[in-house]
């Protein structure tokens, strides 16, 4: 047992980040991030509105239950951004 209280530093020397495009905007992605996590990290908090009231929606539950984070990825509509693992050069649209 050790007295150390700080966790070991992450070794990211082998991780190479990449980018995806959201509505024409290129954003950075860390390997393993979901599309929703990458969008939040890039400062994109909402990307659609409710049908009747026009209220902003984005990542709410983060576990795929609420369907508030729907996006289109590479032409496939109605995907939950919180569940889709981002891939290099994904094209994401929010409208």
Digit-coded pLDDT (tens) for 33-87: 999 999 999 999 999 999 899 999 999 999 999 999 999 999 999 999 999 999 9
Q: Which two structure tokens, joined as six digits, stand for 50?
A: 């409710």
In a domain, 41, yes or no: yes
In a domain, 8, yes or no: no
Residue 12 lies in a domain: no
Q: Any idea which of 14-18, 21-25, 75-79 has the lowest mean pLDDT?
A: 14-18
Any domain includes 47: yes
DSSP run (H or E) holding 92: strand 91-93
Report the C-alpha gap between 80 and 35 in whole angstroms: 9
Residue 26 pLDDT level (bands cut at 50, 70, 90) = very high
User: Could you say which DSSP state residue 79 is in?
Assistant: E
- pLDDT, mean of residues 13-26: 89
**29 part of a folded domain:** yes
Q: Does residue 3 lie within any of the structural domains?
A: no
Q: State the CATH number of the domain containing residue 86.
A: 3.10.20.740
Mean pLDDT calculated for residue range 17-33: 97
Q: Is residue 10 one of the residues assigned to a domain? A: no
**Within-domain flag for 5:** no
pLDDT greater than 60 at residue 1: no
pTM of the model: 0.81
Number of structural domains the chain divides into: 1
Print the domain residue range for 58. Answer: 18-93
């Amino acid at each position: 047992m050790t007295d150390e209280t700080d966790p070991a530093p992450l070794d990211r020397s082998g991780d190479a980040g990449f980018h995806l495009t959201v509505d024409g905007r290129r954003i950075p992605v860390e390997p393993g991030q979901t599309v929703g996590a990458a969008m939040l990290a890039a400062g994109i908090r909402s990307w659609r509105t409710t049908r009747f009231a026009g209220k902003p929606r984005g990542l709410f539950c983060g576990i795929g239950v609420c369907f508030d984070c729907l996006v289109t990825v590479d032409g496939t509509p109605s995907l939950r951004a919180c569940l889709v693992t981002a891939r290099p050069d994904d094209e994401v649209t929010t409208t």
